Amino acid sequence: MNDMTPTREQREAKLEGMGCKRKRVEDIRFTQGKGNYVDDLKLPGMLHGDFVRSPHAHARVKSINSEEALKVPGVLAVITAETLKTVNLAWMPTLAGDVQMVLADGKVLFQNQEVAFVVATDRYAADDGINKVVVEYEPLPVVIDPFKAMDPDAPVLREDPAGKTSGAHGPRKHHNHVFEWTIGDKDLTDAAFKKADVTIKEMLSYHRTHPSPLETCQCVCSFDKIRGELSIWGTFQAPHVIRTVVALIAKIPEHKIHVISPDIGGGFGNKVGAYPGYICAAVASIVTGKPVKWVEDRIENLTATSFARDYHMTTEIAATKEGKVTGLRVHVLADHGAFDACADPSKWPAGFFNIVTGSYDFPTAHVAVDGIYTNKAPGGVAYRCSFRVTEAAYCIERGMDILAQKLGMDPAELRLKNFIKPEQFPYHSALGWEYDSGDYHTAMKKMMESVDYAGLRKEQAAQREAFKRGETREIMGLGVSFFTEIVGAGPSKNCDILGIAMFDSCEIRMHPTGAGIARVGSKSQGQGHETTWAQIIATEIGIPADDIMVEEGNTDTAPYGLGTYGSRSTPVAGAAIAMAARKIKAKAQMIAAYKLEVHEGDLEWDIDGFRVKGLPEKTMSMKDICWAAYNSVPPGMEPGLEAVSYYDPPNMTYPFGAYICVMNIDVDTGVYRIRRFYALDDCGTRINPMIIEGQVHGGLTEAFAIAMGQEIRYDDEGNVVTGSFMDFFMPTAVETPHWETDFTVTPSPHHPIGAKGVGESPNVGGVPAFSNAVNDAFSFLGSTHIQMPHDYWRNWRAAKELGVFAA
Amino acid sequence: MIPGPFSYHRPASVADAVKLLSTLGDEARPLAGGHSLVPMMKLRLATPEHLVDLHGIAGLKGIRRDGHKIVIGAMTTQHELLASDEIRQSLPILHETALLIADPQVRYRGTIGGNVANGDPGNDMPALMLVLGAFYRLEGPGGGRDIAASDFYQGAYFTALEPGEILTSISIPAGAAGHGYAYEKLKRKVGDYATAAAAVVLTMAGGKVATCAIGLTNLHETPLLATDAAKAVIGTSLDDATLGKAAAAAVAIMAPAADARGPVEYRKHVGGIMVTRALTRAAARAS
């Protein structure tokens, strides 16, 4: 035996397959400033477009005068709704079945709405031109408070659906009503509440916030008049969907549209939908015959492109006096702003909000969601969450804490008492989902032991006594959150976007020397797909991950996919990758059998190749099989080694986790101190533990921001008062707490590699943990619920209202 | 976020800068670190036709001792203040405060002259200048003059600077031996202006406060010297009752605006707390 023969461990390590903390291959370029983003693109003769935006939240547009703007050196065109009407593009469809003005058509409905598009030879000239466009407005009364939107005398916001008593999702009951969506058994639920020993009812607001990726939304459109082809480089989380939308609304044949998403600097849901900037840049390019770039600035991104949340959830839970939940009833007032531009699967106007029964065995539940229009920016998108799942998780996790408080029970104990038991999976929830797998008790107990939960509760009791004696001005809170996510949209039986089923896809092509390329329908915005997708293939076909190039985002080369959002990439595209790799492996096995002169069934897989059963020295490596695929395939077999898979998942996946936040609050200033944050995630099979940890850190940081101060806030006139990073809370490394991460592994039974997705779990589970910590801190002073965000002055206000400063 | 057109000038002497500013008139603005002016220009809230960059002028930078005074050139950056042993030893409160201004990137570029001359109530250094009894050297078309920091601030972004004048240096009496100091700043995050901040410099004798000055940041349209609050603590050992009185006296002169940092009542409330905390910490440092 040659000593140089690698051991099995060495062969396995060389693959850097699933389970390996492989370093991110994309970071080589990102950390050196060599990424290639949309704004890096410079085409010959490229023009720049920028918007005239409305200073008013609601106003009639009396006139738009572009005369002076067109005299500005470098300004070539000013596009208005009237221009767009000539090509039937003044309005565009939203993903939620509504329509949205591309440019103000007769009126404006939110501050910073797009009114005119100025096209110039450079950005400076475009901005100079903007300042010379004269728009005459007639201000109208505004609707900002969602609870007043459906008052009988509320101003009419949208005039286009006047007289229409039904919209894309059924009947409308008011001129500012978008839809009502209900699910569950109302009668059974009402009966459960009648019989209940204990009930709670609380209006839980999840305030409006924004995904705020560091790279804003942007595009370059280039129309080639000779070929009749339109190329669009953009910050698109779902490039194929954009191509189809453009084909449908611009009437350009889909094969003549090239959509390319280059490197993307964060998306978090903000880059799923279509924005007026894309349409205007495309029209401007068609009109001028030159490439046109549109790049949002920070203020525009925060104030005009899709927000998230703004869900106001009246939450009721029924329970026995022993603490067994018997019913859940939720009514949601959903503020969609001026246009319903939610990026949900088409049939789900409230996303997957019906995951709101959470991790608990509710015998019955009923949910009603009323979508309404207000004079705010349109949306809302899923900000690092599967559709409306963060809202649902907040609703149930705050609700359970409030119930625990009413029952005088420990919130962790209440959860343990009501968890769906391991033997109940697959579990059919009262609101219609089939939870694929879970082991909640193990995760919860591991969390409680890891942080010494009992010890923390003792410390809290002592701290409260010290506070009452006047020895400290700090109060202590423990925020428990146990979330169940629903991700991986999704099965064609219940998920589509504009009629396209939400499958995903992968094409793998192996080259003769044993390297290969995988093209995938998903699109990384920082998630590290180039690293992890190669790891799946490495384990599946025994080729080192380093020898697999992953390519995404070019609609001409990538197979059709529905893009990356809603933690769907690993559950759907990840499955497609594994299935394509298995097709490669199946063909490879036939080639190996031919070359080794045995029957296929006599071969077995061994890390990086096949060996003959019982003859371990008779092997053929995958690398050698790749070579053979190009010169000596079995008679009758086509040469080459490539495969395509389109994967329609049989079910969603259901990641879960147990989080706890330990927080102290100084009642005099409202300043909080996050003492500890422990996050246990179960995302099934773990492809790259380092990337998972990074995803969890990032999502927790967003959750921290959202719960503790990040909001899009409007004043009474509809002016956005949080339009920059000075006032919109974007924590830096200094403010961000230390994160402790942990895990359990409960593989998905229906996913080819058992993975469930993780990117969004920490945002979903983190927010209730923070909010529960604040609420738990104040609870002994007599408080039931304090609305988010929990920034310093609001904490002080809560303390003040609870009489802390009375003495 | 794109500024309007402007001409750029880079004079080599104070005299040339003054001449440019007075010739070009209201449409010219001097440019120091640019951290206030450039963002305003990007929002087109400021649209100067001429920028007179002061970076080319030798002699506007540096920290030197002149007898009992420390003289700081207006173009000295916050980073250079932090790196200076002289500041650390003679005016340690400047060191403490500079560390609370934004982040390292801003401090590499932002200057003390720009910070004090702009009249922005959110800037941290002006309240310190009041507390320390600083004088500003102004050079203008009519020659030079010195003005007390306490006479400089007239309103938000309104100062005693006359057209064509440039603030060239700051002169500060070195801190008394054994003085105690503290700058307490409540802010929401790195890079934010103070929700409320208080600067205290005091000396102690026999366990009692001998001298004291208290300054307030971002609690009024100008920086404030809380004279009554300072008087209230002199001769006391800073017992709880005295601290309460001092805070109340300071709160009485505060008139902050309501903003995303909190309503007026909150900002005044925490302003009082910053005063008591700064007093307590300064006293503990005094010897």
**pLDDT tens for residues B59-91?**
999 999 999 999 999 999 999 999 999 999 999
- Do B195 and B281 lie in one domain? The reply is yes
Q: Is residue B261 part of a domain?
A: yes
Same domain membership, residue A662 and residue A569 = no
Q: Are residues B69 and B161 in the same domain?
A: yes
Q: B269–A796: do the CB atoms touch at under 8 Å?
A: yes
| Catalytic residue selected from A113, A237, A405, A525 | A237
The CA angle A209-A214-A217, to the nearest 5 degrees, is: 80
In this model, does residue A343 exceed pLDDT 90? no
Report chain A residues whose CB lies below 8 A from the CB of B189. 729-732, 734-735
In a domain, B67, yes or no: yes
* CB distance A280 to A92 below 8 Å: no
Examine the fold and report which residue of B173, B204, B224 is the final residue of a domain before the chain moves on.
B173
Is the pLDDT score of B23 beyond 80? yes
Same domain for B152 and B222?
Answer: no
Residue A127 sits in the same domain as residue A241: yes
* B256, part of any domain: yes
- Give me the residue from B4, B192, B270 closest to A726, CB to CB: B192
User: B32 and B75 share a domain?
Assistant: no
Domain end call among A647, A682, A699: A647
Q: A74 touching B, CB under 8 A?
A: no
Cross-chain Cβ contact B103/A732 below 8 Å: yes
Output the domain CATH number for residue B205.
3.30.390.50
Q: Is residue A150 part of a domain?
A: no
In one-letter notation, the amino acid at residue A93 is: P
How far is the CA of A492 from the CAs of A347, A502, B207, in angstroms?
A: 11, 6, 79
The CATH number given to whatever domain includes residue B26 is: 3.30.43.10
* Residue A163: band (very low, low, confident or very high) from pLDDT cuts 50, 70, 90: confident
Which one of B189, B193, B240 would you mutate to disrupt binding with A, by most A Cβ within 10 Å of its Cβ? B189
Q: Is A237 a catalytic residue?
A: yes
Beta strands at A325-335 and A365-372: parallel, antiparallel or unpaired: parallel
Query: pLDDT at residue A1 above 80?
Result: no
**Among the three residues B121, B139, B173, which one is the final residue of a domain in this structure?**
B173
Reported ipTM: the value is 0.96
Domain assignment present for residue A499? The answer is no
CA angle B18, B23, B24 (to 5 degrees): 100
- What percentage of chain B reaches a pLDDT higher than 90? 98
pLDDT of residue A3: 67
- Quick one: which H or E segment has residue B203? strand B196-205
Beta-sheet strand order (sheet of A548-552): A548-552, A516-520, A504-510, A642-647
Does residue B1 belong to any structural domain of this protein? no
Residue A269 in this model has a pLDDT that exceeds 60: yes
Same domain, yes or no, for A67 and A117? yes
- Whether residue B190 and residue A793 make contact (CB cut-off 8 A), yes or no, is no
Confidence of residue A497 (pLDDT cuts 50, 70, 90): confident
Q: Is the pLDDT of residue A533 over 60?
A: yes
* Helix ranges, chain B (H): 14-24, 37-42, 78-83, 85-90, 92-98, 104-109, 112-117, 125-132, 227-233, 240-253, 264-285
Report the candidate in A601, A551, A595 with the shortest Cα–Cα distance to residue A577: A551
**The pLDDT value given to residue A566:** 87
pLDDT for position A355? 97
Better-scored residue on pLDDT, A497 or A599: A599
Question: Does residue A120 belong to the interface with chain B, where contact is any CB pair within 8 Å?
Answer: no
**Is it the case that residue A498 has pLDDT exceeding 90?**
no
| pLDDT value of position B80 | 98
Contacts of A709 in chain B (CB under 8 A): 188
B67 and B34 in a common domain: no
Each residue's pLDDT tens digit, A595-616: 999 999 999 999 999 999 999 8
The answer to whether residue A297 is domain-embedded is yes
> Does the beta carbon of A483 lie under 8 angstroms from any beta carbon of chain B?
no
Q: Does A729 touch chain B (CB under 8 A)?
A: yes
- CB contact under 8 Å between B1 and A124, yes or no, is no
Residues A564 and A634 in one domain: yes
Tens of pLDDT, residues A779-800 = 999 999 999 999 999 999 999 9
What does the block give as tokens for A9?
């461990």
User: Are A682 and A742 in the same domain?
Assistant: yes
Number of domains, chain A: 3
Task: Specify the CATH number for the domain of residue B151.
Answer: 3.30.465.10
| Dist CA B36 CA B29 (whole Å) | 12
> Which residue of the set A219, A385, A626, A683 is catalytic?
A385
Cα(A65)–Cα(A646) distance, integer angstroms: 51
pLDDT at A492 exceeding the cut of 90: yes
Q: CB A796 to CB B260 under 8 A?
A: no
> Helix, strand, or coil here: A315?
strand
Output the six-digit token pair for A795. Answer: 């904490």
For residues B38 and B88, membership in a common domain is answered with no
Q: List chain A residues with CB under 8 Å of B259.
A: 727
With cut-offs at 50, 70 and 90, classify the pLDDT of residue B272: very high
Q: Does A724 touch chain B (CB under 8 A)?
A: no
A342 catalytic residue (yes or no): no
Residues B217, B262 within the same domain = yes
**A720 to chain B: closest CA residue:** B260
Contact B273/A669, CB-based, under 8 Å? yes
In a shared domain, residues B168 and B76: yes
Considering only CB atoms, B1 lies closest to which of A297, A671, A722, namely A297
Residues A22 and A43 in one domain: no
Shared-domain flag, residues A658 and A751? yes
- Residue A53: phi and psi, rounded to 5, are -120, 155
A734 with B190: Cβ contact below 8 A: yes
| Position B273 in a domain | yes
Please tell me whether residues B90 and B127 are part of one structural domain: yes
- Predicted pLDDT at A345: 86
pLDDT of residue A805 exceeding 90, the answer is no
Instruction: Flag whether B129 is in a domain.
Output: yes
Find the domain containing A641 and state its range. Answer: 8-35+504-647
Using an 8 Å CB-CB cutoff, list chain B residues near A710: none
Q: If phi over 0 gives left and psi between -120 and 50 gives alpha, with beta otherwise, what is residue A677?
A: beta
Sorted by sequence, the CB contacts under 8 Å of residue B48 that are 6+ apart come out as B6, B27, B28, B29, B37, B41
pLDDT at A346: 83
A183 within domain boundaries: no
DSSP code per residue over A657-686: EEEEEEEEEETTT--EEEEEEEEEEE-BS-
Of A299, A734, A797, the CB nearest to B1: A299
Residue A569 lies in a domain: yes
Domain match, A341 and A390 both: yes
What digits encode the pLDDT tens for the residues A389-407? 999 999 999 999 999 999 9
User: Least CA distance to A297: which residue of chain B?
Assistant: B1
Say whether B189 and A793 touch across the interface (CB within 8 A): no
Same domain assignment for residues A667 and A726: yes
In the set A24, A208, A384, A519, the catalytic residue is A384
Task: Supply the range of the domain harboring residue B107.
Answer: 63-173
- Chain A residue numbers with beta carbons less than 8 Å from the beta carbon of B261 are 793
CA distance A451 to A679: 10
Looking at the partner chain, which of B5, B190, B262 has a beta carbon nearest the beta carbon of A793? B262
- Taking the C-alpha atoms of residue A764 and residue A757, their distance in angstroms, rounded to an integer, is 13
| Minimal Cβ distance to A793: which of B44, B189, B261 | B261
Query: Does residue A792 belong to the interface with chain B, where contact is any CB pair within 8 Å?
Result: yes
CB pairs < 8 Å spanning A and B: 59
CB contact under 8 A, B103 and A792: no
Residues B166, B260 within the same domain: no
- The pLDDT tens digits of the residues spanning A184-215 come to 999 999 999 999 999 999 999 999 999 999 99
Identify whether A276 is preceded by a cis peptide bond (ω within 30 of 0).
Answer: no
Q: Is A683 found in the same domain as A559? A: no
CB contact under 8 A, A127 and B260: no
Stretch A151-175: mean pLDDT, rounded? 93
- Look at residues A647, A674, A695 and tell me which one is the last residue of a structural domain: A647
Residue in A298, A713, A731 closest to B189 by CB: A731
Whether A29 maps to a domain, the answer reads yes
Q: What is the mean pLDDT of chain A?
A: 96
Last residue in a domain, options A647, A681, A709: A647
Q: How many domains does chain B have?
A: 3
SS (H, E, C) A60-120: EEEEEECHHHHHCCCEEEEECHHHHHCCCCCEEECCCCCEEECCCCCEECCCCCEEEEEEE
pLDDT given for residue A2 in this prediction: 57
Tell whether B2 is covered by a domain.
Answer: no
Nearest to B190 among A127, A721, A735 (CB): A735
Q: Is residue A296 part of a domain?
A: yes
Which CATH number goes with the domain that contains A108? 3.90.1170.50
Residue A554 domain-assigned (yes or no): yes
Active site residue A597: no
User: What's the CATH number where A685 sits?
Assistant: 3.30.365.10
pLDDT in tens, A472-487: 999 999 999 999 999 9
Say what the pLDDT of residue A494 is: 86
What is the distance between the alpha carbons of residues A330 and A162, in angstroms, rounded to a whole number? Answer: 29
Split at pLDDT 50, 70, 90, the class of A733 is: very high
- Please name the residue of chain A whose CA is at the shortest distance from the CA of residue B259: A721
Same domain assignment for residues B280 and B212: yes
**B256 and B192 share one domain:** yes
Give Cα A415 to chain centroid, integer Å: 26
Scanning every residue of chain B, which has its alpha carbon at the shortest distance from the alpha carbon of A73?
Answer: B5
Q: A538 and A549: one domain?
A: yes
* Contact with chain B for residue A734, Cβ under 8 A: yes
Q: For residues A595 and A641, state if they share a domain.
A: yes
Active site residue A519: no
Chosen for mutation from B1, B6, B40 (greatest number of chain A CBs closer than 10 Å) is: B1
Q: In the predicted model, what is the mean pLDDT of residues A454-477?
A: 98
